[in-house]
Structure 1
Amino acid sequence: MTSVFSGRPSAAAGVRWTSAALLVALGAGTVRARRRLRALPALPPTPACSAGVPRAAGWRLLTARGVEADPATFLAACAYADREGLRVLDLLPGDLAAERVLGLLRLVDPARYRDDRLGEGRGAGCAVLVSEEVLARAGIDGEVGAGAGSPGPDRAELLALIRRLKEYAADATGLAVAPALSGGRPAPDADTGPVRVAELRAQGLPPGALAAAQLAGLALLATVAGRQGRWGAAAAGLYWLQPYLALGGPRGPLRPADLARATAARPVRSLGAALRTAAHAARPRTPTAADRARVAAYRADLAGGTDRFLEPRRPDCPWCGSRRLTVRVRVPDLLQGKPGRFTLEQCGACAHVFQNPRLTPEGLEFYYRDFYDGRGGEGAGTVFGRLGASYRARAEMLRPYGGAPASWLDVGTGHGHFCNAARAVWPQTRFDGLDMGEGVREAERRGWVESGFQGQFPEFAEKLAGRYEVVSMYHYLEHTRDPLAELDAAAEVLAPGGLVAIELPDPQSRMARLLGSAWLPWFQPQHQHLIPAPNLREALADRGFTVLAEEHGPAHQGNDFFGAVALTATHLAPDPDRPWGPPATPRRRAAAAAVRAAALPCFAGAAVLDAVRTAAARRSDGGNAYRMLARKVGP
């Protein structure tokens, strides 16, 4: 309806779009859950093993407290895992609670779960069958959850264990319904805030943010139900009936025992669970001995100030030697909020951007600490695990320039995420990794790389000379102290005709100018050099390489606006529990929570802008990063 006074649509007509959007979202979620439910396999009866009695040797069944599996279920699970080539199998009880089923189906698509080499391990937290070989490689006690007098892990511990185990069986982990397995009677504290928060954290999910989102969603549903007539009532009703619509109908192997109760009481139970989760998530964690030791170490490091972590400023460009230097950006540590301020200068002759003064080796150790490993290791692993499409695109870039390479060295491999994903593209290739951190050893134990070399690349160049057909450096050169020496090492390690693949942030990106110090790829203080593409092409030619391909749009990372919001929010409200900061106080915690809550709509808007920006970058072949592929043709 249009107002005769203003000529604009009335508010009542406009807000119905909110109800329509909610109906579409809830309907799509319900259909998706039902589709995923149908994709869940079920264990066959035990006699299905053609060889008679299934083999149980070499397997361990880990169960949560209160969950008991009968021998027939164990043998059926062993037979199924053997037949499917699985090394880890999470078992879903046939009577698993409805909201647990819905929560699991939101996180994982059973049809794609096994083939997603970087996907996080997910399960019901009730029972998991694991090969003893995987348990040994993962360094997990083979008797956990079993043995006389052992209470076994609780659900949160088992959920965390499943995440870890999938890392050691990246393409050999599955889910299956065990119809005869019962989830047991809920413990008295099963629905309390502490238990819910522990289970969410065990799955790598942020309890506070999820509770806030759930409360906001419930408030929105209540508003549209009260103010938008039939459309609003339909949206609220769809949410209310969602458990039955998604999980009810024809009786299958998964039959939630509480489906009727969960559907009838859903709004009240959801509200109560969200309030309890939010209340407990806001409480400070009790510091552990490791936390106290970390705080003491940082205080000792900071007692002498941060100036000692910086070298004297150099007057010339490390790339071309020009003395025409100007300040590009000055910025504090927006990544972790550690003390210090850093300057990036740009050369007027070659446009090279570099940290000046740069960090000393001791400074690098201080600012890298607890980012990729230690306190920040889990978060970094989650981020890297979501870049599967980018990893596969990097590997696919080589297809037009030869067959499957026999040997590939990934320099700056971290925990080996790229190598793990690239195996799906080049299954016959031997992937090795090199990195300064301990993560490369973990990558070797997981089987994500065949051999892991820990140390500086130039130090290994002579030992590895001529060994590899491909050397990759994806977002690595910008972290190094001397990128030209790293290119020299790549030329030495490659066999004649070998390929070097490089990906870097592009300091000539338009977004670098638009966002200023909030542009994520500045990544201070970790990034030492930001190299324009013409400079890299010239350096490769000087070392006997011919550039075969250069990509800008496909290399774009869609995080410009989201990253700017994240860096700004971190700067305004740093983590109150960071061990290098002042002691946390209730006032600091409240301020941090308020900033994070206010940032939520900004994150949503940034995600939309990044989607538009990414589409434009793909079409225009211009983005915030570039890839280059070159062949070694001369000495």
Structure 2
Amino acid sequence: MTPPPLSRVRWTSAVLLAALAAGTVRAGRRLRAIPVLSVTPPAAAGVPRPAGWRLLTTRGVEPDAATFLAACAHAEGEGLRVLDLLPADLAAERALGLLRLVDPARYRWDRLGEGRGAGFAVLVAEEVLARAGADPVGPRPEPAELLALTRRLKEYATDATGLAIAPGLSCGAPDEPRGPARVAELRAQGLPPGALAAAQLGGLALLAAVALRQGRWGAAAAGLYWLQPYLALGGPGSPLRPADLARATAARPLRSLGAALRTAAAAGRGGTGEDRARDATRAVAYRAELTSGVAHFLEPRRPDCPWCGSGRLAVRVRVPDLLQGKPGLFTLERCGECGHVFQNPRLTLEGLEFYYRDFYDGRGGEGAGTVFGRLGAAYRGRAEMLLPHADPLSWLDVGTGHGHFCNAARAVWPRTRFDGLDMGDGVREAERRGWVETGYQGQFPEFASKLAGQYEVVSMYHYLEHTREPLAELDAAAAVLAPGGFLTIELPDPESRMARLLGPVWLPWFQPQHQHLVPAANLREALADRGFTVLAEEHGPAHQGNDFFGAVALTATRLAPDPDRPWGPPATARARALAHAVRLAALPAFAGAAVLDALRTAAAHRTDGGNAYRMLARKDIA
């Protein structure tokens, strides 16, 4: 039979077919890149446990001595401190899900990558367990608990965590988890169950539509989806032997539909009982704080510019808290003389504590950590900006958070000692993880005299805009740097064209956290006043590709805030339904925004004009 002409190709089916084919090939390639333990029986029964190692398993998983010894030998031979073991009979969909998340060739060396595994057995060095404070006691953990532990352990062994297939290990339960168990496992891996279920349901609906309406091309796409488990995991030479491979392949559409519906239903019931109890406790505290409103969180409005003293002020934008949906309305004013943009009236110290709470830690800590962990390219660009100018031995990262930049920058500067400073408890966690050598907790100006002249580099990445007195922060940097040292700064650019286009939903306004947005010309002048010479300035490379995606996210939050937020009214069925409806309706908008952001990023790099800028300056030798 003559194939149909190109003009009759149904492009939706062709795109789906190409995407599924690429995913199938990728899964097979990744599977074969995972090392397989070489298991030999122990010389004698009762082989003692090698010192310094623990093997943690879920209920029903019983590793033998040969598997344990082989895992220890593999970890020591590869220089690993954490090793997740994949049972040879791992369920097909669980295996495919893991292979979508993990590229074994890059996993170990991705210092910011999240810890992933099968959730059945993890070999870990005892010193890593001790540093992480995560030594489990009591009954064996559930798979969700072990997945969460693996994710945490990689933070303490960023370049010493790996995967291996254990031929002699059986997971004991080949079926996929259902309902609440599946939701718990997804959340343990930092994945949004509701959004994933919605995406899966949408994908199944699209496949059904093309199979029914687009002839052979649609049938080919649906057939490839149907056969994907066997094509990726089966066949001769596959290192895995999923116990449910035949069943998972034969009934894949129905099983996937049922799993997505159950996940969506379980996700709609909110978090775990423990999460709800914590939120209830937070709600009591928030209600007590909000009895008198939020006006007391703001200082009196100032009549002049904090940068140049001019009284020529005009409102730039008024915006509520679109980040968390806490009550309040915030005003950013622009100076007509120097262009400085600042929050006016600004938050009090009590107000800052209120609006920061549960964003970088507490309720929102996990989400913030996930976002920071995905900025590896930005971190590398910041670190590489110094390459033509210095080879530093000491570096202080101010506003370090949990130390993500310092962890990533070690790949560029392996000999450099990185220290971090921040107001939050995260800097102590960064020290325990080994992401910074020393963590200083407090206000930077308070440490200026103590640390005077001790550092060759001071960095302030998206930090100055959060401070109450940015000029005082620059004074502290000048004091801490040794003569000839380098100060590197990255800031949102208030002169970005996207700020005018998107208005209140331009993400870098970031209200109410951002107190000051400094034009590049103002920063250059302030650095010169403090004895610095600007060596380099970058705009396009500093661009953060989130303008359109952020606008959609902020708009969705404004239309339907999280119904379970403890500072809001008690959640109702109507509020939950509205939130789910808005999130579902926003999925196409998010997809379109991602495309627009990719185009915008390419344009920013070509024109050297983005939504942020970096500046590198050297402290002059008097």
Q: TM-score range by the shorter chain?
A: over 0.9
Residue aligning to 1:622: 609
Residues of 1 paired with 2:360 and 2:300: CA distance?
27
Residues of 2 paired with 1:379 and 1:591: CA distance?
22
Query: Which of 319, 344, 347 matches 2:307?
Result: 319
Query: Which of 577, 582, 607 matches 2:564?
Result: 577
Q: How does 1:508-519 map to 2 (within 5 A)?
A: 508-519=495-506
Q: Among the aligned pairs, what percent are the same residue?
A: 82
Residues of 2 paired with 1:553 and 1:48: CA distance?
59
Residue aligning to 1:412: 399
1:15, distance to aligned residue in structure 2 (A): 7.7
Residue aligning to 2:216: 230
Q: Give the letter aligned to residue 436 of structure 1.
A: M
The answer on 1:97 being equivalent to 2:83 is no
The answer on 1:128 being equivalent to 2:116 is no
1:55, distance to aligned residue in structure 2 (A): 7.0
Stretch moving more, 124-133 or 278-287: 278-287
The answer on 1:275 being equivalent to 2:269 is no
**Does the CA contact (< 8 Å) of 1:54 and 1:78 recur in 2?**
no
Residue aligning to 1:507: 494
Q: Give the letter aligned to residue 309 of structure 2.
A: G
Residue aligning to 2:54: 60
1:634, distance to aligned residue in structure 2 (A): 4.1
Residues of 2 paired with 1:47 and 1:71: CA distance?
8
Residue aligning to 2:143: 155
Q: 1:107 to 1:339 in 2, by over 3 A?
A: same
Q: 1:26 to 1:54 in 2, by over 3 A?
A: farther
Q: Give the letter aligned to residue 221 of structure 1.
A: L
Residue aligning to 1:495: 482
Residue aligning to 2:325: 337
Residue aligning to 2:3: none
The answer on 1:471 being equivalent to 2:465 is no
3-state DSSP of counterpart to 2:504: helix
Query: Which of 338, 353, 356 matches 1:368?
Result: 356
Question: Which consecutive unaligned segments of at least 5 residues does structure 2 have?
Answer: 1-5
Residue aligning to 2:81: 87
Q: Give the letter aligned to residue 448 of structure 1.
A: W
Residues of 1 paired with 2:474 and 2:139: CA distance?
55
Residues of 2 paired with 1:497 and 1:55: CA distance?
54
Residue aligning to 2:247: 261
1:254, distance to aligned residue in structure 2 (A): 1.7
Query: Which of 155, 164, 169 matches 2:152?
Result: 164
The answer on 1:607 being equivalent to 2:594 is yes
**Does the CA contact (< 8 Å) of 1:55 and 1:79 recur in 2?**
no
Q: Give the letter aligned to residue 439 of structure 1.
A: G
Residue aligning to 1:242: 228
Residues of 1 paired with 2:525 and 2:41: CA distance?
67
3-state DSSP of counterpart to 1:399: coil
Residues of 1 paired with 2:59 and 2:535: CA distance?
58
3-state DSSP of counterpart to 1:563: helix
Give me the TM-score of the superposition, normalised by structure 2.
0.97
The answer on 1:74 being equivalent to 2:62 is no
Residues of 2 paired with 1:179 and 1:439: CA distance?
40
Residues of 1 paired with 2:288 and 2:174: CA distance?
47
For residues 67-107 of structure 1, give each alpha carbon's deviation from its aligned partner in whole angstroms, at most 9, with x where no partner exists: 11101111111111111111100000011111111000000
**Does the CA contact (< 8 Å) of 1:562 and 1:610 recur in 2?**
yes
Aligned CA-pair RMSD: 1.5
**Does the CA contact (< 8 Å) of 2:90 and 2:174 recur in 1?**
no
1:13, distance to aligned residue in structure 2 (A): 6.0
Q: Give the letter aligned to residue 16 of structure 1.
A: R
Query: Which of 165, 186, 189 matches 1:200?
Result: 186
Ranges of 4+ aligned residues in structure 1 off by more than 3 Å: 12-15, 46-49, 284-289
**Does the CA contact (< 8 Å) of 1:316 and 1:323 recur in 2?**
yes
Residue aligning to 1:353: 341
Q: Give the letter aligned to residue 249 of structure 2.
A: T
Give me the TM-score of the superposition, normalised by structure 1.
0.95
Residue aligning to 2:388: 400
Q: Give the letter aligned to residue 451 of structure 2.
A: L
1:151, distance to aligned residue in structure 2 (A): 3.1
Q: Give the letter aligned to residue 442 of structure 2.
A: G
**Does the CA contact (< 8 Å) of 1:543 and 1:634 recur in 2?**
no
Residues of 1 paired with 2:478 and 2:49: CA distance?
51
> How many residues matched?
612
Residues of 2 paired with 1:298 and 1:89: CA distance?
42
The answer on 1:458 being equivalent to 2:445 is yes
1:261, distance to aligned residue in structure 2 (A): 1.5
Residues of 2 paired with 1:499 and 1:15: CA distance?
58
Residues of 1 paired with 2:106 and 2:42: CA distance?
25
Query: Which of 167, 174, 183 matches 2:162?
Result: 174
Residues of 1 paired with 2:186 and 2:312: CA distance?
53
Residue aligning to 1:532: 519
Residue aligning to 1:550: 537
3-state DSSP of counterpart to 2:36: coil
Residue aligning to 2:103: 109
Residue aligning to 1:217: 203
For residues 146-167 of structure 1, give each alpha carbon's deviation from its aligned partner in whole angstroms, at most 9, with x where no partner exists: xxxx430010110111001101
Question: Which consecutive unaligned segments of at least 5 residues does structure 1 have?
Answer: 1-11, 145-149
Query: Which of 567, 575, 580 matches 1:588?
Result: 575
**Does the CA contact (< 8 Å) of 1:545 and 1:634 recur in 2?**
no
Residues of 1 paired with 2:217 and 2:256: CA distance?
22
